[in-house]
Structure 1
Amino acid sequence: MSGAPVRWFDVPEAEGLWEGDLVEAEVAGERVLVVHHVDGSFAAYQGMCPHQEFPLAYGKWDEEENTLTCAGHGWEFDLTSGAGINPSGCRLHRYPIRATDAGAVRIGIPQDGEARHDSSREA
């Protein structure tokens, strides 16, 4: 992530999200995929596949392996890190995320004006 300042936004769609589930949300005009891993941790990634901007929320998630296969053309991602598995030369943008004991989920959106839907190259 760049050194741009981050603004935090509540994500009501992610409140009460079960472990082993994911949800898409629009946060400050950006499509974001929120993942609640089976270990209880959260992660947030760009919500569009970098291949042809297909919504990742429609993909098949293997929550035990932490992999997501895009329903558009079968690109695979490691949802622990956002790294591309197939193909390996891509990466999903990862947003900072916070979950409180009270169940609130907040995502940090960098305030640099850059789009985060095409991260097809390794950073």
Structure 2
Amino acid sequence: MSDDLRDWEFVCTEAELLPGEKKTVWHGDTPILVVNLDGDYYAVEDQCTHEDFELSAGPVDQETGLIECVFHGAKFDLRTGAATCPPAYTPVATFPVKVVDGALWTRDNR
């Protein structure tokens, strides 16, 4: 692994994450959800800020870029992390996604 990827977590190859698909990886104790929105990759903490429930269980709307928590219906913008409707008011953390030689990488950069 090159030095510039030392603190990054391998997600998968681009071919393994088609538009509309999502994958969760762990960076230490942080679950990170990576989503392909029509060829653009976004990563957010895989945890609803309203209740401790994984966002990866919910559907992604490709047109709006929103993911819905199936527990109580809160929605979050995958591009910004913003909570877009109650019962969630606090945004989810967002993380960088890097593409290197067709492979996706992410990390908790907080």
Give the shorter-chain TM-score range.
0.7 to 0.9
Structure 1 CA distance, aligned partners of 2:60 and 2:96? 21
Partner of 2:58 in structure 1? 59
From the superposition, tell whether residues 104 and 13 of structure 1 become closer, same or farther in structure 2 (CA, over 3 Å): closer
Q: Over the residues paired in the alignment, what is the CA RMSD in angstroms? A: 2.2
Q: Equivalences for 1:1-123 in 2 at 5 Å?
A: 7-12=7-12, 16-38=16-38, 40-87=39-86, 89-100=89-100, 102-110=101-109
How many equivalent pairs are there? 104
Unaligned runs of 5+ in 2: 1-5
Gaps of at least 5 residues in structure 1 are: 1-5, 113-123
**TM-score computed with the length of structure 1 as normaliser:** 0.74
SS of equivalent residue, structure 2 residue 56: helix
Identity %: 27
Q: Is the 8 A contact 1:13 1:23 kept in 2?
A: no
SS in 2 for 1:109: coil
Runs of 4+ in 1 over 3 A off after TM superposition: 12-15
Deviations 1:29-75 (A, max 9, x none): 3111101111x111110001011110101112111211111001100
Question: Residue type matched to 1:43 in 2?
Answer: Y
Alignment correspondent of 2:3: none
Q: Does 13-22 or 25-34 show the bigger shift? A: 13-22
- Cα displacement (A) at 1:18: 0.3
* Offset at residue 109 of structure 1 (A): 2.1
Q: Distance in 2 between matches of 1:41 and 1:74?
A: 24
